[in-house]
Amino acid sequence: MTKPGDVPTVTLPSGARMPMVGFGTWKLRGREARQAVLEALRTGYRHVDTATMYANESEVGLALADSGLQRSSVFVTTKIRPSDAGRARQVLQASLRALGTEYLDLWLVHWPPRSTSEGRQLWSELLAAHAEGLVRDVGVSNYSLAQIDDLTRSSGQQPAVNQIDWGPTLYDAGVLAGHAERAIAVEGYSSLKNTRLGDPVLTQIAAAHGVTPAQVVLRWHLEHGITVIPKSSHPDRIASNFDLFSFALTNAEQATIDGMAR
Ligand X SMILES: NC(=O)c1ccc[n+]([C@@H]2O[C@H](COP(=O)([O-])OP(=O)(O)OC[C@H]3O[C@@H](n4cnc5c(N)ncnc54)[C@H](OP(=O)(O)O)[C@@H]3O)[C@@H](O)[C@H]2O)c1
Give the x/- contact pattern for ligand X in 211-230, rule: CB under 6 A.
Answer: -x-x--------------xx
Distance CA 228, CA 24 (A): 9
Which one of residues 137, 241, 243, 260 is an interface residue with ligand X (CB under 6 A)?
A: 241
37 binding ligand X? (CB under 6 A): no
Which one of residues 52, 56, 158, 163 is an interface residue with ligand X (CB under 6 A)?
A: 163
234 binding ligand X? (CB under 6 A): yes
191 binding ligand X? (CB under 6 A): yes
Distance CA 144, CA 240 (A): 32
Nearest approach in angstroms of CB 159 to ligand X is 13
25 binding ligand X? (CB under 6 A): yes
Distance CA 83, CA 121 (A): 11
Q: Are 168 and 258 in contact (CB under 8 A)?
A: yes
Nearest approach in angstroms of CB 236 to ligand X is 8
54 is catalytic: yes
Residues 6+ apart with CB under 8 A from 104: 76, 77, 78, 92, 95, 96, 134, 135, 136
Q: Are 10 and 227 in contact (CB under 8 A)?
A: yes
247 binding ligand X? (CB under 6 A): no
Distance CA 213, CA 188 (A): 17
Single out the catalytic residue among 54, 143, 171, 189.
Answer: 54
Nearer to ligand X, 25 or 158 (CB): 25
Which one of residues 231, 242, 243, 257 is an interface residue with ligand X (CB under 6 A)?
A: 231
56 binding ligand X? (CB under 6 A): no
Residues 6+ apart with CB under 8 A from 138: 106, 107, 108, 123, 126, 127, 129, 130, 159, 160
Nearest approach in angstroms of CB 167 to ligand X is 8
Q: Are 242 and 212 in contact (CB under 8 A)?
A: no
Q: Are 124 and 155 in contact (CB under 8 A)?
A: yes
Nearer to ligand X, 68 or 210 (CB): 210
Residues annotated as catalytic (active site), given as ranges: 54
Contact residues toward ligand X (CB under 6 A) are 24-26, 49, 110-111, 141-142, 163, 189-193, 197, 212, 214, 229-234, 237, 240-241
